[in-house]
Chains A and B, each alone.
Chain A
Amino acid sequence: MQTAQVFSFHGGIHPEENKTQSLQLPLGKPSLPKELILPLSQHIGQASVPLVAIGDQVLKGAPIAANNGLLSSHLHAPTSGTITAIESRPIAHPSGLSDLCIVLQPDGKETWTELKPLPNWQQLDATEVISHLADMGIVGMGGAGFPTQVKLQGAHKKPLSHFIINAAECEPYITSDDTLIREKTRELVLGIELFQHLVQAEQVTIGIEDNKPTAIAALNKTLTECNSKIQLVVVPTKYPSGGERQLIQLLTGQEVPSGQYPADIGILCQNVGTCVAGYEAVYLGKPLISRITTLTGKALNAPQNVDVLLGTPVAHLLAYADLQEKQLNRLIIGGPMMGYTLDSAAVPIVKTTNCILAANKKELPAPAPEQACIRCGMCEQACPASLLPQQLLWFSKSQELEKAEHYNLFDCIECGACSYVCPSSIPLVQYYRHTKSSIRDAREAAVKSDLAKQRFEARKARQDAEAAEKEAKRLARQQASASKAVQTKKTAPATKTTEKSALNASNSEAAPQINDTTKKLKVDVAIGKSKLKKLQKQLVEAQEDERLEDISALQLHVSEQEKALVELETELAKAVKANPTKKPSDTPDNSVEKAKAPANDALKKAKIDAAIAKAAVKKVEKALKKAEELQAPEVDAIRQQLADAKKRADELEKVLDNPSPSTPPTEQKPAVSAAQLDLASQVKKEKIAVALAKAKINKLNKRLASSPEDAETVSKDIEAAQQQLVQAESLLATLIESQHNSQETS
């Protein structure tokens, strides 16, 4: 064993270790539970996507969920059996909430799927091995569950100076890593060498706390046997030396800069469990389907470490370790310092579950009531991140988020050392967690409100542009119709000929010069329009990409362009207006084209209006029914209005019926459009009437609710109203039909 310098970090505490209890018994192997629950989100990042359906038969080790994006992981069947459900189940999460899980019913046969080891991994490219690890669903087994392939790839950012294997396991009670090292020493060393091969670090170091003599001896023995270059560094027992950043400081003396990852300073850290899982994945081809978990606490008669399949419910394990139900007071996943409590024992073991602590009342008593902070500074002495916990508490209490951030709240690793030493029993970590999430929420809200603001402003800009365009069009149309009036008097048959060539010919003969100018203007307008469109497109893109500086510049451009366009259009209109008689052919052309467009528009509108009218009538109907049920006193008025509406609908129907069959497809378009415009206005009117009726019914209902005693007197009226409503309904149905007809014909 080479001796290496051990540095130290600020603060830290020495809680009671409580590690011996779970080391009395050998590694246990619980039986198969009745069902395995496999949450789709066992790791940091997006949840996996299920690959199986309910009822599918799966073999042990077969993939059942695939990774979903870069920061995600695969999931494999821990045993062979049937998928019985994919549903929301309570998961191991501090909130006690449920999440989507795949439920697997074991068939007890434990039939393995075909295993694909990589025996020639030394010859393969590192990326291939890494992708194999990803396929085997390997994630960091220390706590956070960071997908290993992402971490290994990240380690290539910079040449690695240190590859650190975290075997410190500083939390009280937990002995799963200790057991793992003892049981699978050789596998661990091979796994480390595998990872070292992948990352090519200058120095490989195992950091282990001095309270695991057996594991240290086993490791030393194996390392000398293998003649390995791996360095074993024993660090003094102190919580939280197993924290990634603290262990790095202990072993290298370097600090990971705030907000960065160890890879940014050329250091990679892996948990021992991850190394063993990597070994199994590459040498044996076994995916990550089981792990070693500590079952401990005074509520258990047989505390021990178990090799357990992922998805095993905690209750099953507690039964295995002989739980005394009455003793159980707090059930914790993880250790007493950073673990979280469980509401129920139905939650499953996941890839990161290293300990289940079933504590009785005496062992982990209820926290004493919070007292005032007396700023004694003990938390500051204990903080491994050199923060000022009492100051952070003050800002957290008063929700001064900016100040809390300024005091480096986000460098807090939530290790709980401050809460542990606090003489006033203040739940400091909970304050910090709350404040951190408040800050994150506030940031998200700020992003969202910025987005909303941008979109609102973009919408306003667009609407203004549209309004300007419409106004310009309206002006143009006005002038066009004026000229048309003049023109129709003079050359009535000209309207029939819609062919452009003829018109253009006459046009060019009549007023070639003026035509030129108008043409030019038209071209300008067209160019301007296309430019505007381009700019608007760019603007939308910029908004989507959130390029703020571009947006404002583009918006300026757009508005300028709009202005220019409007000017051009007015100029064009002027030009047209100036020569209404001299270029008769030009204007009818325009007018026809323009008339077509509104006709189509009107028709569309009419259709929509009809649909709305239909819905509105339905609404009225509903309301009337309600009113009827409630015996509303104001049915008279409604009836009156319904009658009106009926009348209008009648008219509407006529209008729709008459023109539509008699309209020849192209030549009589103006007439059609006129009829349809009429129809549209009718429908609008009716709609308004219906809306009014709706409002009145609402009022009616309210009044009825307040004075039910007048109800009887109007029951007859309501009946009548009902009849009329039915009539109105049928009328409206015909109306809609006719509208459909008109649509088809036009």
Chain B
Amino acid sequence: MSTSEETAVNLDTDDTAQDNQPSANYADIIYNGIWKNNPALVQLLGLCPMLAVTSTVVNALGLGLATLVVLVGSNIAVSLIRNYVADAVRLPAFVMIIASFTTCIELIMQAYTYELYQILGIFIPLIVTNCAILGRADAFASRNPVLPSALDGFMMGLGFMAILVALGAMRELIGQGTLFSDMQLLLGEAAIHWKWVVFDDYPNVLFVVLPPGAFIGLGLLIAGKNFLDEREKQRIAAQKAKDGPSNSKRVRVTGQVS
């Protein structure tokens, strides 16, 4: 993975401060998970499955859902035991919890969506090693009560899944000219006609279907987010400039002036 959780969080000290507050604001948690601290776009966590399985919407949605469930489950569990785990064995314990949830999900998918399970292959068990999950467990759930932790897990999972699906849709559209093909693999027979052939006679753009295309797609998504953030920042800066600077924060180096 490209960035470890620690540095990702440290990049913005405000975030850690907010994360560490036991009574985090729910609105903040939602905003953090979906946008500001999005695990896929900002923290660049879980890149490996993200780049590997987002060739179609259904793959992305499948993995996204699995990750979401594991994330919520592990966050709740970790939050519940947070006061009873010694610091030294913290991480192994968290990994055990995550592994258990992942195994559950794997078995469930094997049972109900066997084909999708086969398509996703190794990437379902690999959810255990998804830094996003361990990161949230360590950075948030181990310091917050159950309810905020569950919300945080859900929102982070949702943010992750949203990017996965967006990337999947992008790659499916450009790579194969369709959208929502094979949705029945995940959603059952009802979804069999969901496949929308956007372009007829479309030549498969292999480059986009292959993992290198995912890099470019993700790069574009990150660029888009940065662009929006930049605009917002400029707006805030303009607002602040209008308000004028606040009082001086200067201290006297050389004692008091009488």
**Residue positions of A touching B, CB distance < 8 A:** 687-688, 691
Contact = CB atoms under 8 A, between A and B. Distances in A.
Contacts of A687: 258
Q: Is the interface of A mostly helix, strand, loop or mixed?
A: helix
3 contacts: A687-B258, A688-B258, A691-B258
> Lowest 3 CB-CB distances: which A-B pairs, in order?
A691-B258, A687-B258, A688-B258
A688 B256 CA distance: 13
A625 to B, nearest CB: 24
Interface string B215-258: 00000000000000000000000000000000000000000001
Contacts of A688: 258
Nearest to B255: A463
Nearest to A687: B258
A392 to B, nearest CB: 31
Contacts of B258: 687-688, 691
Interface of B: 258
B122 to A, nearest CB: 43
A691 B257 CA distance: 11
A130 B258 CA distance: 62
A371 B258 CA distance: 60
Nearest to A459: B254
A252 to B, nearest CB: 57
A379 B241 CA distance: 45
B244 to A, nearest CB: 15
A687 B258 CA distance: 9
Nearest to B254: A459
A691 B258 CA distance: 8
Contacts of A691: 258
B29 to A, nearest CB: 40
B251 to A, nearest CB: 15
A418 B258 CA distance: 61
A688 B258 CA distance: 7
A445 B258 CA distance: 33
B84 to A, nearest CB: 49
A328 B258 CA distance: 64
A276 B258 CA distance: 69
A466 to B, nearest CB: 13
A683 to B, nearest CB: 12
Nearest to B257: A691
Nearest to A688: B258
Nearest to A456: B253
A306 B167 CA distance: 77
A608 to B, nearest CB: 12
B253 to A, nearest CB: 8
A689 to B, nearest CB: 12
A591 B18 CA distance: 62
A44 B26 CA distance: 70
B114 to A, nearest CB: 55
B196 to A, nearest CB: 43
A212 B167 CA distance: 73
A691 B256 CA distance: 13
B139 to A, nearest CB: 35
A308 to B, nearest CB: 57
A87 to B, nearest CB: 41
B252 to A, nearest CB: 14
Nearest to A612: B258
B22 to A, nearest CB: 41
B53 to A, nearest CB: 39
